[in-house]
């Protein structure tokens, strides 16, 4: 029998076959309804079945579906670059097909930047422990995600990582704010050890997603990071694949720390799942040496700047703009956070509620012991049984023993639908408490 899914299902022994989606709901072929409280993989930012987006893809397809980027440009890709420039201030976009590729591209451009400036020794990439930048080898080399790295140790790089800004489990045993951001200052120590003359860039996610469950750094953190990078002549890459395109209440999450990175990776919400597309965005400072040098970015994929995907992303971003969806995120965030705080008060295993905008995380601790991936899988499975989709995240300072989920519904979810998220989460936690107790009490 042929298979398209060569992985073990997260839940049970088969994949439900999805039939269609409408708004924040998905329906499988057996008629089961799922409330998509995590937008798939924090991707379907506008929910499912948006007619105007689908129509834009159809319209573009009837003109031309594919051109090869080294032969032609195309209008949707150019319009998308112009739109991203207007919203983010980055004048240069390089389109790829996935978040992993956007990160790979960002890293390659950082390396090329220094080569074109006659500094080829600046080639090391620093990153952060408890981070996920993608599954391809370069992006995985930069990822401090032990579970996703372990099988490929022989191939991926052991790139230096600094400790995460994980205040509730501070790796230094300190407390914010008296810690004086020891975690950010560790970057300086690392740079001194390796030598800034050998380092191209530092990469981090504004909010730690898959590797931490919406771990959110304190408000002064990124200005300290940016200052350290600037003083040491190191490029700062922000991986906004999960946080970008409005997810946290601003177009880019780093805006909320008052910071601009030198290179930004976006993906996921950029096309809200309507077509595969992602991008690396660059400042003039990054691109000038390349434009005045070889004038070519040594990267690219067959489907880079694909007209269909570009049309989908453009339609998504224009809709987010015209419907003022990002402006509505903060009040929905406060509303959802209050509901999650209620759950924390009711269920003792909910240890922390955190995150920004509609990227919120719950970290769990069952009976005072860190519970790990098994507990996370049990939460996700209980969610499915109760008709709600939840995104599993690693957590705990070792990236293995902790347990967390991400709640990240489509940005256009209504408050009434958020009440339904609460209702289904509550019944999920009731199921969980009962099952987990039955299995572990003896
Ligand atoms: N960076 C971040 C921050 C992500 O969350 C992800 C996906 N979870 C990626 C990169 C990789 O994106 P993709 O799965 O589209 O390759």
Return the ligand 1 atom nearest residue 101 CA: 16
**Burial classification of residue 306, based on how many CB atoms lie within 10 Å of its CB (0-12 exposed, 13-18 middle, 19 or more buried):** buried
Can you tell me the ipTM of this complex? Answer: 0.99
Ligand 1, atom 5: closest residue by C-alpha:
242
CA 420 from chain centre, in angstroms, equals 25
The pLDDT, as a whole number, for residue 13 is 67
Q: Are 208 and 171 in contact (CB under 8 A)?
A: no
Q: Output DSSP code: residue 163.
A: P
Beta strands in 70-170 (DSSP E): 92-96, 124-128, 161-162
Would you report the helix, strand and coil content of the chain in percent, each value rounded to 5?
A: 40, 20, 40
Cα dihedral sign, 410-426-210-251: positive
Name the CA dihedral angle for 186, 187, 191, 197, rounded to a multiple of 10 degrees. -170
CA of 207 to the centre of ligand 1 (A): 13
CA of 265 to the centre of ligand 1 (A): 9
How far apart are alpha carbons 442 and 435 in whole angstroms?
13
Sole residue written with tokens 């771990």: 215
CA of 99 to the centre of ligand 1 (A): 5
Return the ligand 1 atom nearest residue 276 CA: 15
The pLDDT, as a whole number, for residue 2 is 65
CA of 33 to the centre of ligand 1 (A): 26
How far apart are alpha carbons 395 and 372 in whole angstroms?
8
CA 149 from chain centre, in angstroms, equals 17
421: nearest Cα among 388, 392, 382, 381: 388
Residues 117, 162, 183: CA angle, nearest 5 degrees: 115
254: nearest Cα among 273, 236, 234: 236
**Domain 52-322 listed as CATH 3.40.640.10:** yes
**Burial classification of residue 385, based on how many CB atoms lie within 10 Å of its CB (0-12 exposed, 13-18 middle, 19 or more buried):** middle
**Burial classification of residue 344, based on how many CB atoms lie within 10 Å of its CB (0-12 exposed, 13-18 middle, 19 or more buried):** middle
Return the ligand 1 atom nearest residue 268 CA: 15
DSSP per-residue string spanning 339-386: HHHHHHHH-TTEEEEEEETTEEEEEE-BTTB--HHHHHHHHHHHHHHT
CA of 242 to the centre of ligand 1 (A): 7
311 lines ligand 1 (CB under 6 A): no
Output b/e per residue, 33-71; b: 16+ Cβ within 10 A.
ebbbbbbbbbbbbbbbebeebeebbeebeeeeeeeebee
* pLDDT profile of the chain (442 residues), mean per 10: 65 81 97 97 98 98 96 96 98 97 98 98 97 97 93 94 96 97 98 98 98 97 98 98 98 98 98 98 97 90 96 98 98 98 96 97 81 88 95 90 95 98 98 78 58
Count how many Cα atoms sit within 13 Å of the Cα of residue 300 in the half-sphere of its side chain: 10
Cα dihedral sign, 259-265-270-272: negative
The pLDDT, as a whole number, for residue 441 is 62
Q: How far is CA 296 from CA 21, 112, 139, 271, 419, in A?
A: 41, 10, 22, 26, 51
Return the ligand 1 atom nearest residue 205 CA: 3
133 lines ligand 1 (CB under 6 A): yes
396 contacts: CB under 8 Å, gap ≥ 6: 169, 370, 372, 402, 403
Listed by start position, the domains of the chain span 18-49+328-440, 52-322
| CATH class belonging to 18-49+328-440 | alpha beta
Helix (H) / strand (E) containing 434: helix 415-440
Q: What is the CA radius of gyration of the chain?
A: 22
How far apart are alpha carbons 188 and 377 in whole angstroms?
37
Cis peptide before 157 (omega within 30 of 0): no
How many CB atoms are located within 10 Å of the residue 95 CB? 26
């Amino acid at each position: 029998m042929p298979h398209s899914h060569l992985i073990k299902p997260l839940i049970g022994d088969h994949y439900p076959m999805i039939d269609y989606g409408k708004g924040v709901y998905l329906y499988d072929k057996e008629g089961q309804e799922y409330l998509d409280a995590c937008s798939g993989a924090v991707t379907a930012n506008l929910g499912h079945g948006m007619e105007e987006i689908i129509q834009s893809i159809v319209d573009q397809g009837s003109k031309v579906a594919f051109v090869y980027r080294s032969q032609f440009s195309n209008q949707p890709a150019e319009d998308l670059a112009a739109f991203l420039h207007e919203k983010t201030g980055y004048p240069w976009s390089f389109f790829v097909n996935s978040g992993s590729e956007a990160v790979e591209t960002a890293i390659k451009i950082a390396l090329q930047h220094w080569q074109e400036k006659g500094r080829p020794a600046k080639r090391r990439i620093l990153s952060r422990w408890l981070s996920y930048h993608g599954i391809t080898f370069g992006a995985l080399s930069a990822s401090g995600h032990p579970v996703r790295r372990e099988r490929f140790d022989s191939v991926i790089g052991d790139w230096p990582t600094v400790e995460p800004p994980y205040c509730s489990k501070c790796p230094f045993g300190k407390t914010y704010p008296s810690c004086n951001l020891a975690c950010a200052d560790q970057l300086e120590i690392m740079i001194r050890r390796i030598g800034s003359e050998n380092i191209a860039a530092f990469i981090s996610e504004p909010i730690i997603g898959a590797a931490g469950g919406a771990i959110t750094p304190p408000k002064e953190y990124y200005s300290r990071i940016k200052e350290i990078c600037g003083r040491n002549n190191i490029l700062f890459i922000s991986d906004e694949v999960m946080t970008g395109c409005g997810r946290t209440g601003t177009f880019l999450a780093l805006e909320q720390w008052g910071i601009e990175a030198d290179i930004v990776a976006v993906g996921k919400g950029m096309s809200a799942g309507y077509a595969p597309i992602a991008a690396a965005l660059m400042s003039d400072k990054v691109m000038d040496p390349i434009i005045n040098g070889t004038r070519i970015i040594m990267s690219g994929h067959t489907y880079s700047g694909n007209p269909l995907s570009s049309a989908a992303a453009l339609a998504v971003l224009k809709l987010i703009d015209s419907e003022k969806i990002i402006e509505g995120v903060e009040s929905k965030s406060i509303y959802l956070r209050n509901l999650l705080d209620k759950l924390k008060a009711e269920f003792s295993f909910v240890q922390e509620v955190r995150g920004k905008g509609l990227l919120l995380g719950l970290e769990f601790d069952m009976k005072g012991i860190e519970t790990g991936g098994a507990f996370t899988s049990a939460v996700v499975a209980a969610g499915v049984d109760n008709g709600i989709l939840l995104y599993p995240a690693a957590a705990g300072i070792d990236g293995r023993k902790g347990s967390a989920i991400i709640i990240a519904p489509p940005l256009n979810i209504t408050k009434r639908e958020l009440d339904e998220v609460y209702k289904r989460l509550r019944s999920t936690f009731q199921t969980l408490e009962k099952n987990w107790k039955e299995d572990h009490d003896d």
